C-alpha cells in the first residue's frame, strides 16, 4: 500500500485510462450489442465516466491549490474549453454533414431543432439524432462551470468545509431526482469530487488507505461487477423503484475502487494500465461521441450490421476507434496544446512586471 506522500507525488494514474476504456465500450455494447448483453447493463458506463471526471478535476485543483496557494479559475476554464469543446463541435459538424448527405432530412429528423440545444450543451433536454449520448456532456459542462466556483472560487476552504460542501451537494442532487430531470446524474460526479477531497487530506487518506491495497481492490471490483450484472435483481430486492439506491451503491463501489487503481500494483491495475487499454481510454471521449454516426454508417454500408447484436457492437467499437484515433491526433491533442500555450503566455505576461522590479535590486546587490 502506498503512503499519502507517495499518492501526492503520483502524477499520472494510468489505470484510470483503462477504466475509461471499459466505460466507453460498455456504452457502445449497451447501444448496439442487442439482447445478449442486457445483463451487462452497459448504460452504467456513464456513471464510471462521471466518477472519474469528478475525481480527476478536483484532484488537479487541490494539488494546484497546495502548490500555488490558490486555483486559477481562468486557467481551469481554458484547459477545459480546449479539451472538451473542439472535438465536440467537430463531431456535431460531422453528424450534420453526414445526415444531410445521407438524405435523412435535417428538419424531418429533428436535427435542426435540436442543434441549438446541443451547441449550447443543454442536449439533455433536447437530444439530437445520431448524437443522443451527448446529453452527458451537458451535465459535465455545467458541473465544470459551477463546481470550481463553489469549491475553489470563494476563498480557501478547509478540509471540513469542502467535504461538507461536496457531501451536501450529493445529498441535494439525490433528493432532487423525483423533481428535476437529470439531477441524479450529478451525484456520481460529486461523489468523485468527495473521494478526491478525502484522499488529498492526510487523515482522510489514512481512513481510506485500506482500499489502496490490490487485494481489497479486487474485492471491490468483484462487488462492482456483481451489482452491474444483477442490477435489476438487487433493485427489486431493495424495493428500489427507479434504481436510484442501487445506482448509488454502484457509484460508491466505483469510487472505492479508485484508490487501488491510483496506487498501482496488483493484477487489476496492471491490466487496466496495459497499452491497449490506455489506447482506448485516451480515445474514449471521441469514441463516445462518434458511436451514433459510426453505427448508422456501418449499417448503411453493410446491412448485416443493422441488427443490434454482438458483432455490430464489435464493428462499431473498431470503426469508432479508428475515427476516434484521427480525432485524438488531429483535434484533441493539438487543441489541448493550444490551451497550454495560451496559459503559458498568460503566466509570462503576469511575470513580466515582477521581472522589471526585481532586476534593479539584483544589479544593486
What dihedral angle (degrees, nearest 10) is formed by the CA atoms of 258, 87, 122, 133? Answer: -60
Neighbouring residues of 140: CB distance < 8 A, sequence distance ≥ 6? 50, 53, 84, 189
Question: Do residues 67 and 201 touch, judged by C-beta distance below 8 A?
Answer: no
Residue with grid cell 477504466, as numbered in its chain: 19
Question: Do residues 189 and 54 touch, judged by C-beta distance below 8 A?
Answer: yes
Coil/strand/helix, residue 27: helix
Residue 361 lies in a domain: no
The gap from C-alpha 94 to its chain's centroid, in whole angstroms, comes to: 22
Distances in Å between the Cα of 247 and the Cα atoms of 56, 141, 228 are 21, 22, 9
Distances in Å between the Cα of 341 and the Cα atoms of 72, 85, 216, 267, 346 are 15, 17, 41, 38, 9
Please give the chain's pLDDT, 365 residues, in tens.
899 999 999 998 999 999 999 999 999 999 999 999 999 999 999 999 999 999 999 999 999 999 999 999 999 999 999 999 999 999 999 999 999 999 888 988 899 999 999 999 999 999 999 999 999 999 999 999 999 999 999 777 899 999 999 999 999 999 998 888 899 999 999 999 999 999 999 999 999 999 999 999 999 999 999 999 999 999 999 999 888 899 999 999 999 999 999 998 899 999 999 999 999 999 999 999 999 999 999 999 999 999 999 999 999 999 999 999 999 999 999 999 999 999 999 999 988 765 444 444 434 33
Segment 245-284, tens digit of pLDDT: 999 999 999 999 999 999 988 999 999 999 999 999 999 9
For residues 266 and 15, give the distance between their C-alpha atoms in angstroms, rounded to a whole number.
11
Q: At what angle do helices 186-200 and 45-68 cross, to 10 degrees?
A: 40
Residue 313 lies in a domain: yes
For residues 258 and 220, give the distance between their C-alpha atoms in angstroms, rounded to a whole number.
10
Residue 351 lies in a domain: no
Q: Which grid coordinates are listed for 50?
A: 462521471
Q: Identify the domain containing residue 30 by its residue range.
A: 4-344
Segment 27-47, tens digit of pLDDT: 999 999 999 999 999 999 999
Residue 19 lies in a domain: yes
Q: What does pTM read for this prediction? A: 0.93
How many domains, the chain? Answer: 1
Residue 353 lies in a domain: no
Q: Which grid coordinates are listed for 247?
A: 445506482
For residues 107 and 91, give the distance between their C-alpha atoms in angstroms, rounded to a whole number.
19
Is 168 exposed, middle or buried (CB count within 10 Å of its CB: 0-12, 13-18, 19+)?
exposed
Of the candidates 192, 145, 140, 132, the residue with the CA atom closest to the CA atom of residue 167 = 192
Residue 358 lies in a domain: no
Phi (first) and psi of residue 329, to 5 degrees: -80, -40
Give, as one character, the DSSP assignment of residue 330. Answer: I
Residue 362 lies in a domain: no
Q: Which grid coordinates are listed for 118?
A: 446541443
Residue 354 lies in a domain: no
Amino acid at each position: 500500500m502506498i503512503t499519502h506522500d507517495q499518492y501526492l507525488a503520483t502524477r499520472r494514474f494510468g489505470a484510470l485510462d483503462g477504466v475509461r476504456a471499459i466505460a466507453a465500450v460498455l456504452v457502445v455494447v449497451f447501444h448496439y450489442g442487442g439482447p445478449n448483453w442486457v445483463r451487462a447493463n452497459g448504460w452504467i458506463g456513464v456513471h464510471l465516466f462521471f466518477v472519474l471526471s469528478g475525481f480527476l478535476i478536483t484532484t488537479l485543483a487541490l494539488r494546484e491549490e497546495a502548490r500555488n496557494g490558490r486555483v486559477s479559475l481562468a486557467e481551469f476554464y481554458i484547459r477545459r474549453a480546449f479539451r472538451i469543446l473542439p472535438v465536440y463541435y467537430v463531431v456535431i459538424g460531422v453528424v450534420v454533414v453526414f445526415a444531410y448527405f445521407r438524405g435523412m432530412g435535417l428538419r424531418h429528423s429533428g436535427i435542426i431543432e435540436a442543434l441549438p440545444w446541443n451547441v449550447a450543451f443543454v442536449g439533455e433536454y433536447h437530444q439530437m439524432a445520431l448524437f443522443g449520448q451527448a446529453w452527458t456532456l451537458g451535465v459535465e459542462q455545467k458541473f465544470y462551470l459551477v463546481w470550481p466556483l463553489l469549491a475553489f472560487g470563494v476563498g480557501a476552504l478547509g478540509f471540513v468545509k469542502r467535504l461538507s460542501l461536496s457531501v451536501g451537494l450529493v445529498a441535494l442532487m439525490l433528493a432532487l431526482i423525483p423533481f428535476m430531470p437529470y439531477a441524479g446524474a450529478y451525484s456520481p460526479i460529486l461523489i468523485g469530487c468527495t473521494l478526491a477531497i478525502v484522499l488529498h487530506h492526510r487523515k482522510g487518506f489514512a481512513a481510506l488507505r485500506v482500499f489502496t491495497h490490490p487485494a481489497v481492490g479486487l474485492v471491490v471490483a468483484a462487488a462492482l461487477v456483481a451489482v452491474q450484472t444483477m442490477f435489476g435483481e438487487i433493485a427489486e430486492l431493495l424495493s428500489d423503484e427507479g434504481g436510484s439506491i442501487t445506482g448509488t451503491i454502484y457509484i460508491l463501489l466505483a469510487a472505492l475502487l479508485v484508490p487501488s487503481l491510483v496506487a498501482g500494483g496488483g493484477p487489476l491495475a496492471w491490466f487496466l494500465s496495459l497499452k491497449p487499454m490506455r489506447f482506448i481510454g485516451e480515445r474514449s471521449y471521441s469514441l463516445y461521441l462518434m458511436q451514433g454516426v459510426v453505427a448508422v454508417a456501418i449499417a448503411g454500408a453493410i446491412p448485416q450490421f443493422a441488427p443490434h447484436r454482438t458483432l455490430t457492437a464489435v464493428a462499431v467499437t473498431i470503426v469508432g476507434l479508428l475515427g476516434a484515433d484521427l480525432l485524438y491526433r488531429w483535434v484533441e491533442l493539438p487543441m489541448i496544446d493550444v490551451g497550454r500555450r495560451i496559459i503559458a503566455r498568460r503566466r509570462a505576461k503576469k511575470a513580466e512586471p515582477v521581472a522589471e522590479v526585481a532586476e534593479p535590486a539584483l544589479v544593486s546587490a
